[in-house]
Structure 1
């Protein structure tokens, strides 16, 4: 079929929701592979959905090149409309769920990597027991990505460090947790470390994009300390670098037990009061009709953390 203009008198078939979601993802990423990955579908399936949408509308929506995808003028208009339509469909589903009761059906959750492996094993069993009709889908990504996915409507709620430096996100505080100083065994540091002691130490950090890196930098800046130039992609790698003698680092209390038991040649030092800390919370779209549900979820998480005694330097809200 020639996908140009629509012949006079020819009816336009209505697009399906699946076709609109596929095209909306392609319009955002401008790359078939990346769009397919975002939707967790195969690239051929995505391509077929976009082609079917073009055929149903009788016009070309994308210009395919060897390296990227460009939107045609019609594609630009469809992308804008599709975003509105999909957002309204999500609101319809949310409104129905709100009537059915709290935390029923699908809930898409984004979690940052420096929280997910330490908090989820504590929280998920309790949530599953309290809300048996809840269908959780969890995605682990850095802060910037999960906040963008939240605002785009592809996530319902996010679990991350606060505050969120983005408009349109409502925050619910879950708990505060202290940072501890992790150093190689035999390192000459007082058992209760003052923040000023960081001035004399090589503090190594996670790489850019991790909010934990930014928080550690803030602690260092408060006392005029400078971080070392060695960065890691995960807390596990960071702690192993410390075990290898490359410096010291700051680790949140919830991660201490898991990460330090993998490297026995380490010593944990607590800071003198007031210790530096980070705040963990839930974030959701301020326009979401499910605010009450997220408050119920936040209360369940706080109770799970408090009952688990996950770490001595953790204080629930």
Structure 2
């Protein structure tokens, strides 16, 4: 008599539900429909001939059996992902599928520089890109739904190994006519300005806040934005100033009139950009090759003067 075995799809659906305890949130995390996720969980219960979840009108609870299955499913799926990674590592660097996560303050400025080079150097690479904020990307990485993430360092996330790519200075973007003088302004110039920030969740917001705290500058409490493009437009409209990383300047300042760009005197505030991947992943050589391709693409693009190799 044949024994029904759980499928990988069923285990992934149930593990997402166990993590979120909400069908809608779990379905969104897996980028599938809620009915499809519910059907997968129900099929898993039928295969195992036991109830795994208690469904109420407001939330989902795991049964004792469900808690046990969730723990075992996490181990099984982690081993399966490791098997796939090991096969990819043996096959060769940057061949086949690679799922990359990128933060919004890097993706629109770096990807147009990097992607053509990757396509030329690694024609067998099947790249998929997911843009999101740092917290969500790291969660997706650790869950095995992304292979590598491109974002600001340090992450300080357990189980994630980092590869530094480059550093880039922040530039003060102010309305045209601001009496700030030429390049080489001191950080203390921010003290009497309203600094506009991105919404919570963006790592660039935290970095800008750190700079402001260092000099006692104030931030515009009532004005936030979800993108650098909006921030620069707000500055163009005279609502304050903002800090923009070098890679974003050519794109964003081209879209907005009436701006003044002011670079800081050394040591200028900066951010460090790098790759992160699961420390247990055997594809280290592959990610090192990816890192080198990114570094070379940035170096050859001439995109901005304030970009340099990372300092030791």
TM-score (norm 1): 0.94
Distance in 2 of aligned mates of 1:128 and 1:63: 48
C-alpha separation in 1, matches of 2:308 and 2:130: 25
Alignment partner, residue 24 of structure 1: 15
Q: Does 1:218 align with 2:210?
A: yes
Establish whether residue 205 from structure 1 lines up as the match of residue 197 from structure 2.
yes
**Could you tell me whether the CA contact under 8 Å between 2:99 and 2:148 is conserved in 1?**
yes
User: 2:255 maps to which residue?
Assistant: 262
- Contact 1:12/1:57 (CA < 8 Å) preserved in 2? no
Match of 2:288 among 291, 295, 300: 295
Match of 1:191 among 176, 182, 185: 182
1:232 aligns with 2:217: no
Q: Does 1:284 align with 2:277?
A: yes
Structure 1 portions without partners, runs of 5+:
1-9
Match of 1:153 in 2: 144
Aligned partner (choices 153, 160, 165) of residue 162 of structure 1 = 153
1:12 to partner: Cα distance: 5.1
Q: Is the 8 A contact 2:192 2:218 kept in 1?
A: no
State the Cα distance separating 1:234 from its structure 2 match. 1.3
Partner of 1:5: none
8 Å contact from structure 1 (residues 205, 216) kept in 2: yes
- The answer to whether the Cα contact below 8 Å between 1:305 and 1:316 also exists between their aligned partners in 2 is no
Do 1:143 and 1:209's aligned partners in 2 also have CA atoms closer than 8 Å? yes
Q: CA RMSD of the aligned region, Å?
A: 1.4
* CA deviation map 1:51-84 (0-9, x unaligned): 1111010011111112222111111111111111
Matches within 5 A, 1:1-317: 13-192=4-183, 193-229=185-221, 230-317=223-310
Q: Which range is displaced more, 19-28 or 224-233?
A: 224-233
Instruction: Indicate the SS of the match to 1:176.
Output: strand
Secondary structure in 1 matching 2:238: coil
When the two structures are aligned, how many residues end up with a matched partner? 308
Aligned counterpart, 1:7: none
Q: For 1:89-127, what per-residue CA distance to the aligned partner results, in whole angstroms no more than 9, with x for missing partners?
A: 000011111111111221111111100111011111111
Gaps of at least 5 residues in structure 2 are none
Say if 1:178 and 1:313, in contact at 8 Å, map to a contact too.
Answer: yes
